[in-house]
Amino acid sequence: MTQSIKEILKRTDYGAVVNVKGWVRTRRGNKNVSFVAINDGSCVHNIQVVIDNERFGEEFLKPITTGSCISVIGKIAESLGKGQSVEIQAETVEIYGTADPLTYPLQKKGHTLEFLREIAHLRPRTNTFGAIFRLRHNMAMAIHTFFHERGFFYFHTPLITGSDCEGAGQMFQVTTLNLYDLKKSPNGQIDYSNDFFGKQTSLTVSGQLEGELAAMALGKIYTFGPTFRAENSNTPRHLAEFWMIEPEMAFYEIADNMQLAQEFIQYCIRWALEKCSDDLEFLCERHDNELIDRLKSVVENDFVRLPYTQGVEILQDAVAKGQKFDFPVTWGIDLQSEHERYLVEQHFEKPVILTDYPKEIKSFYMKQNDDGKTVRAMDVLFPKIGEIIGGSQREEDYEKLKQRAEEMHVPEKDIWWYMDTRRYGTAPHSGFGLGFERLLLFVTGMQNIRDVIPFPRTPNTADF
Ligand code: 4AD
Ligand code: MG
């Protein structure tokens, strides 16, 4: 049986025989002895294997180079070397796979994150990406645990859809029509009746609409799945394929929704601090030395709750006092990332939940306020990230929702089933969407969203 390096490093029963299998990170030594550092992905630390050169022979040991994969059986011994407690004295060594040093791209020297993106098939073997992907796993576990413990049900919403939830028209079409021989009607329309689903379909931009149907039956649900947006924004915060967590709760008003969002994010970050300290310490040391302090500060402080209108006043005030923004600030604008970050990083120095946005810049389903101008939206804005969560209380009134859908050109034929929830047993309800990779940006301290998902999809990139 193979033991994981993570487990072996904790042991003190020197002399016990173990079997480790992993990838060689480095090999050094002298004429008599080789020190081989192996990593098996179980943790950021390597284990040192000590090999007696004479016993195994130069020829046999030669292919043990960076990137090769070996299995070692040997005794656990107390290590005298700096920075490690335990090493293994090799008794048998098997080489599973070699890695020609002339072509293996991951050599010992530090590589840039940009270069590593080009070899996304190998970058999980670096310390940085090992740490990131272990954190990614841990955040997924934290999310499921958080909701499960609070009586939410994990509900699966479809990825292929006939409706545009956000109404932003940024959808990837799904079709089996022959694009080389596309039949069009005399007025230039494509006849989708011959398509696979007999109508035009796309990849979903959000599971919310179906999530609301579930909340109107199961009470509290959440979705957690891939989401697709064909927005052509080549920024460090946008992916064409990202993962989103969308809780939806019957009988929650906006204030309950905000409280849940805060507790949810704090729970995930606390999980990372408690269960992933080795990986966080590594990332802190290597990439961002304020990371752990930043995580702690978010766990310890309440998020600010601030209506959009007041946010705009603060920004205008700042401009009057000499603050420069690229985009002008007027009531009604969709705040730019520079504005969001000013509020969070300079003005309040903690996360801000901005509420009650102008209805024109938000989706049709948000509950309308009595002022006739704003809706009960809530965006959670984070330091270094900007928007991490978007959500709202939902419009539960059939007539008001119908009117807003019409005004925003959401076709009734696409959402008749959604409208039905307002016709049959409607109830106040709320929900939000957390961008999983945006959370990971915050938790890992990485700067580019392409570095927190294994195989990023962005404009002009769909490799691996
Ligand atoms: O604000 P958004 O568009 O909200 C919705 O989709 C709602 N249906 C959510 C709901 O109320 N159930 O997206 C939610 C979050 C954003 O705050 C952001 O964190 C993330 O999803 N997000 C993206 N992450 C990466 N790449 C993109 N292109 C993203 N677009 C949104
Ligand atoms: Mg949003």
DSSP string computed for 25-57:
EEEEE-SSEEEEEEE-SSSS--EEEEEEHHHH-
DSSP H or E stretch at residue 132: helix 127-149
* Spatial separation of the C-alpha atoms in residues 303 and 440, rounded to whole Å: 19
Regarding the beta carbon of 207 and ligand 1, being less than 6 Å apart is answered: no
Give the model's pLDDT for residue 97: 98
pLDDT above 80 for 168: no
Show me where the domains of the chain are located: 5-97, 124-170+205-451
* Spatial separation of the C-alpha atoms in residues 304 and 301, rounded to whole Å: 9
List pLDDT tens digits, range 353-372: 999 999 999 999 999 999 99
pLDDT above 80 for 58: yes
pLDDT above 80 for 189: yes
Regarding the beta carbon of 445 and ligand 1, being less than 6 Å apart is answered: no
Average pLDDT, integer, range 127-151: 98
Regarding the beta carbon of 254 and ligand 1, being less than 6 Å apart is answered: no
Average pLDDT, integer, range 135-154: 98
Q: Is 149 exposed, middle or buried (0-12, 13-18, 19+ CB in 10 A)?
A: exposed
One-letter amino acid of 119: I
Average pLDDT, integer, range 179-189: 89
Give the model's pLDDT for residue 234: 87
* Residue 231: band (very low, low, confident or very high) from pLDDT cuts 50, 70, 90: confident
List pLDDT tens digits, range 359-408: 999 999 999 999 999 999 999 999 999 999 999 999 999 999 999 999 99
Ligand 1, atom 2, lies closest to the CA of 390
* Residue 233: band (very low, low, confident or very high) from pLDDT cuts 50, 70, 90: confident
* Spatial separation of the C-alpha atoms in residues 413 and 417, rounded to whole Å: 9
Regarding the beta carbon of 420 and ligand 1, being less than 6 Å apart is answered: no
With the most atoms of ligand 1 within 8 angstroms of its CB, the residue from 157, 340, 438 to mutate is 438
313 CB contacts (<8 Å, ≥6 apart)? none
* Residue 352: band (very low, low, confident or very high) from pLDDT cuts 50, 70, 90: very high
| Short-list 135, 99, 82, CA closest to 24 | 99
Regarding the beta carbon of 242 and ligand 1, being less than 6 Å apart is answered: yes
Overall pTM surpassing 0.75 (yes/no): yes
* Residue 260: band (very low, low, confident or very high) from pLDDT cuts 50, 70, 90: very high
For the chain, what percent of residues have pLDDT higher than 90? 91
pLDDT above 90 for 272: yes
Regarding the beta carbon of 222 and ligand 1, being less than 6 Å apart is answered: no
Average pLDDT, integer, range 255-259: 98
pLDDT above 90 for 259: yes
List pLDDT tens digits, range 288-312: 999 999 999 999 999 999 999 999 9
pLDDT above 90 for 109: no
How far is the centre of ligand 1, averaged over its atoms, from the C-alpha of 9 (Å)? 40
With the most atoms of ligand 1 within 8 angstroms of its CB, the residue from 212, 220, 235, 242 to mutate is 242
247 CB contacts (<8 Å, ≥6 apart)? 147, 152, 211, 220, 221, 222, 260, 264, 431, 432
pLDDT above 90 for 107: no
Q: Which two tokens stand for residue 350?
A: 């903690």
Ligand 1, atom 28, lies closest to the CA of 238
Average pLDDT, integer, range 329-335: 96
* Spatial separation of the C-alpha atoms in residues 73 and 67, rounded to whole Å: 19
Domain 124-170+205-451 class in CATH: alpha beta
pLDDT above 80 for 267: yes
Regarding the beta carbon of 431 and ligand 1, being less than 6 Å apart is answered: yes
* Residue 184: band (very low, low, confident or very high) from pLDDT cuts 50, 70, 90: confident
**Distance (Å) of CA 171 to CA 158, 162, 205, 260, 352:** 14, 10, 7, 29, 29
Q: Is 447 exposed, middle or buried (0-12, 13-18, 19+ CB in 10 A)?
A: middle
Ligand nearest the Cα atom of residue 391 = 1
Give the model's pLDDT for residue 80: 80
Give the model's pLDDT for residue 186: 87
Regarding the beta carbon of 227 and ligand 1, being less than 6 Å apart is answered: no
Question: Residue holding tokens 């149907």?
Answer: 213
Give the model's pLDDT for residue 85: 83
Q: Determine the atom of ligand 1 nearest the C-alpha atom of 208.
A: 12
Task: Return the SS3 of 462.
Answer: coil
Ligand 1, atom 15, lies closest to the CA of 435
Ligand 1, atom 19, lies closest to the CA of 435
How far is the centre of ligand 2, averaged over its atoms, from the C-alpha of 22 (Å)? 42
Q: Determine the atom of ligand 1 nearest the C-alpha atom of 387.
A: 17
For all residues of the chain together, what is the average pLDDT? 95
CATH of 5-97, one of 3.40.50.300, 3.40.50.620, 2.60.40.3080, 2.40.50.140: 2.40.50.140
Q: Determine the atom of ligand 1 nearest the C-alpha atom of 205.
A: 6
CB 409 within 8 Å of CB 377: no
Q: Is 184 exposed, middle or buried (0-12, 13-18, 19+ CB in 10 A)?
A: exposed
* Spatial separation of the C-alpha atoms in residues 301 and 380, rounded to whole Å: 14
How far is the centre of ligand 1, averaged over its atoms, from the C-alpha of 64 (Å)? 46
| Short-list 231, 215, 250, 249, CA closest to 166 | 231
CB 391 within 8 Å of CB 377: yes
Given CA atoms 123, 128, 133, 134 in this order, what sign does their dihedral have?
A: positive
Calculated CA dihedral for residues 135, 138, 144, 147, nearest 10 degrees: -80
pLDDT above 80 for 68: yes
pLDDT above 80 for 108: no
How far is the centre of ligand 1, averaged over its atoms, from the C-alpha of 105 (Å)? 35
* Residue 447: band (very low, low, confident or very high) from pLDDT cuts 50, 70, 90: very high
Q: Which two tokens stand for residue 258?
A: 């905000």
| Short-list 374, 330, 379, 335, CA closest to 354 | 379
